[in-house]
Structure 1
């Protein structure tokens, strides 16, 4: 009954936001990087920080004792991202807030006490890189929500049946937020887009959960719960570097963009394939007892080969 109530509250919250976004013209206009062609409400991903606020209202003691640092980091990164959705901010301001949020995230997960100090810079780079990967991959209807739902569902299963590393509701609330968001986004003509506030918000939450799990188990294999996003972004960056392109400029070289823009494949089909692919990897990851390097080879050799083959064929077909 509680989760039904939470879902209703989340639905009401996003509908209220739609009214505000419509009144203040918070919209996403198509550009040369976009895979959509119509003006759509932006910032629907505000549902994710709202989900944490609701989590805090229903679990005040838990948040005060355990989750306050995560909440501050999440709200900070979502606030700066929402402002950036409405009005472009300086990269220095964004980076400063991102660093503060990551510090709060690492404090929350216990990484500062559980890992040697020389590992901290590596964690900073990985987390900020993963956050940006989430942002880069948020380009078509359904992608952010469905992909996150696949990973969150895997984390919920691990927490319930493999090893408990956090409170169940701390995973269930973002799952409910994803479902509500997808109701409006997983459509041929989306009602709203996540915006930076959404991709950064849910990305921060998912990364926080994975980091908690790694700190609890000491098994770094769980970073592969985001392996599809990681592989896509890393290979695309390498490609752009080889082409001597500015990797910080907007582009349309991601595989999902080529399928959506050139091949005209349904956004929903592409998003579904990415999510299912990650889910298959997650199932293998959860039950595999193999060493980490072996798991990496088993996942990335075939996945990377398929990725590069598809991309090469598309570029050849469309002379890209």
Structure 2
């Protein structure tokens, strides 16, 4: 028999630790490489700061993923795994080149659509209402969520922390929701983000960049689709959207508000709630910690709603998820009246 100190779970945990340190090492390299993000009119930072920390996160994830899967007895030679990996690698590469050369938004959008289509072609897609409509909705979901994560990556530690906490919650509740296959990949991505986070929070020495935010966004959207397909709980499909709800709410509210105000939806801006609160003088660390707490609340809501029938579970979850977001919106409204920030 294999000694306990060489058992599969111990080896897998050791790989997670190695991935975190490897990601941290690559992040240090990217800091020294100094591909700078110069402050613009929508930036929260005032000084040029290196970007591309997501290179460390993505590289560590791809390097250790096959090893962790093999150690834990999960095959990587499956269509859904292979195409998801290729799609994420494609999007990460295009995003990194965009970080370097500032390509037109149309190129990034095409890359997002291609990557989303590859994921769905691998079989990770909504099974309803029909296979074709489910596939179309899945592509739209993946493109939207990839952009939502990218839009929300504008404050130290906000996105990397939210995604790290979300992945830890997926791993913690994987057995309860009937998706044990996601436990180790979620832990691995959380470990890679943990290697990056100390360089970005509370003070940013480097940013995640599009390479990290878009790559992680695609993986998060894919995991949510996988849970919808495979969860054994009646309302288990809620776990992904509930964990991501703070990001989804902020993006959808901002888009709707800007549309009603007659602003361009594709123009860069600082109108997201977290940006408005930061502009009002609120401590950025406190803003980030509040967003992290919303993700934890989403995990609790999904846990409570999971045993309910789909319709009842969705109604219960929506009401509970909206409560802190409406409070967050009311707080932003009151604060900006006391500390004017100009047009949202």
Q: TM-score, normalised by structure 2?
A: 0.84
Moved more, 30-39 or 291-300: 291-300
1:295 aligns with 2:317: yes
The answer to whether residue 39 in structure 2 is matched with residue 30 in structure 1 is yes
Q: How does 1:138-153 map to 2 (within 5 A)?
A: 138-153=153-168
* Distance of 2:238 and 2:179 partners within structure 1: 17
User: Contact (CA 8 Å) 1:43, 1:196: kept in 2 or not?
Assistant: yes
Q: How far off is 1:318 after superposition?
A: 3.2
> Which structure 2 residues correspond to residues 199-218 of structure 1 after superposition, within 5 A?
199-217=213-231
What is the match of residue 98 of structure 2? 84
Matched positions, count: 316
2:122 & 2:181 partners in 1: Cα distance? 11
Q: RMSD between aligned alpha carbons?
A: 2.3
Question: Match for residue 310 of structure 1?
Answer: 331
> Gaps (5+ residues) in structure 1?
none
- 1:105 aligns to what? 119
Distance 2:152 2:51 in 1: 16
Alignment counterpart, residue 282 of structure 1, candidates 279, 299, 302: 299
Q: Are 2:281 and 1:263 aligned?
A: yes
Q: Distance in 1 between matches of 2:194 and 2:227?
A: 23
Moved more, 10-19 or 268-277: 10-19
Distance across 2 between alignment mates of 1:19 and 1:298: 43
Q: Secondary structure at the match of 1:62?
A: coil
- Counterparts in 2 of 1:232 and 1:13: CA distance versus 1, 3 Å: closer
- CA positional deviation for 1:47: 2.5
State how far apart, in whole Å, the 1-side matches of 2:126 and 2:15 are. 37
The alpha carbon displacement at 1:76 in A equals: 0.6
Q: Please give the alpha-carbon distance, in whole angstroms, between the structure 1 residues aligned to 2:141 and 2:181.
A: 22
1:43–1:82 contact (8 Å) kept in structure 2: yes
Shift in CA distance, 126/59, structure 1 to aligned 2, threshold 3 Å? closer
> Which residue pairs with 1:116 in the alignment?
131
Task: Give the Å deviation of 1:85.
Answer: 0.7
Aligned residues of 1:109 and 1:215 also touching (Cα < 8 A): no
Aligned-residue offset at 1:151: 1.3
- 1:161 and 1:29, CA in 2 relative to 1: closer, same or farther beyond 3 A? same
1:42 to 47, 51, 75: 51
- Higher RCO structure (Cα 8 Å, ≥6 apart): 1
Q: Gaps spanning 5+ residues in structure 2: where? A: 1-9
Preserved CA contact (<8 Å) 1:147 1:278: yes
Bigger shift: residues 31-40 or 58-67? 58-67
Query: In structure 1, what is the Cα distance between the partners aligned to 2:23 and 2:299?
Result: 32
The 3 A distance-change label for structure 1 pair 304 and 70 is same
Whether the 8 Å CA contact 1:48–1:177 is kept in 2: the answer is yes
1:159, distance to aligned residue in structure 2 (A) = 1.2
**The one of 18, 34, 37 aligned to 1:8:** 18
| Matches of 2:271 and 2:336, distance apart in 1 | 10
CA-to-partner distance for each residue in 1:211-239, whole Å, 9 max, x for gaps?
11111137442322211111111111111
Alpha-carbon separation, structure 2, partners of 1:32 and 1:242: 22
User: Counterpart of 1:246 in 2: which secondary structure?
Assistant: coil
Q: Would the aligned equivalents of 1:40 and 1:191 in 2 still touch at CA under 8 Å?
A: yes
Between 199-208 and 161-170, report the one with greater CA deviation.
Answer: 161-170
TM-score by length of structure 1 reads 0.90
Counterpart pick for 1:56 among 66, 71, 89: 66
Whole-angstrom distance in 2 between the partners of 1:244 and 1:167: 42
User: Residue 150 of structure 2: SS of its match in structure 1?
Assistant: helix
Q: Distance in 2 between matches of 1:310 and 1:224?
A: 21
The reply to whether residue 246 of structure 1 matches residue 264 of structure 2 is yes
Moved more, 274-283 or 290-299: 290-299
